[in-house]
Amino acid sequence: MTDKPTPLAHGEIDVLILQALVRKLIAKGVLTPDDVRAMLFEAAKNLDLVGSELTTEAANIIVQEDLAPAFLGG
């Protein structure tokens, strides 16, 4: 059995680090905002919020309204 590491600050620090990393990669030109949106869309499609993968439309809404602003600002 593998023990999972305990998330720091209930996982909030992980999110902050990931957001900062994505913003830094955009600033350095490694990623574009479109690259980030595409990755977020792929992740959102695989979310299991209702017992199955989300529809394309639902995943797009989650990316536009929740995920993209958190990672891209604005």
3-state secondary structure of 65: helix
The answer to whether residue 3 sits within a structural domain is no
| pLDDT tens across the length of the chain (74 residues) | 456 555 556 668 889 999 999 999 999 999 999 999 999 999 998 887 777 778 899 999 999 999 999 999 86
Whole-number pLDDT of residue 24: 96
Residue type, 60: N
The answer to whether residue 60 sits within a structural domain is yes
Structural domains of the chain, count: 1
Whole-number pLDDT of residue 28: 97
The answer to whether residue 1 sits within a structural domain is no
Whole-number pLDDT of residue 48: 77
Q: How far apart are CA 62 and CA 43, in angstroms?
A: 10
Whole-number pLDDT of residue 67: 94
Q: Angle 57-42-51 (CA atoms, 0-180°, nearest 5)?
A: 65
Contact status, residue 59 vs residue 45, Cβ threshold 8 Å:
yes
Query: What is the extent of the structural domain holding 54?
Result: 8-72
Judging by beta carbons within 10 Å of its beta carbon (0-12, 13-18, 19+), is residue 5 exposed, middle or buried?
Answer: exposed
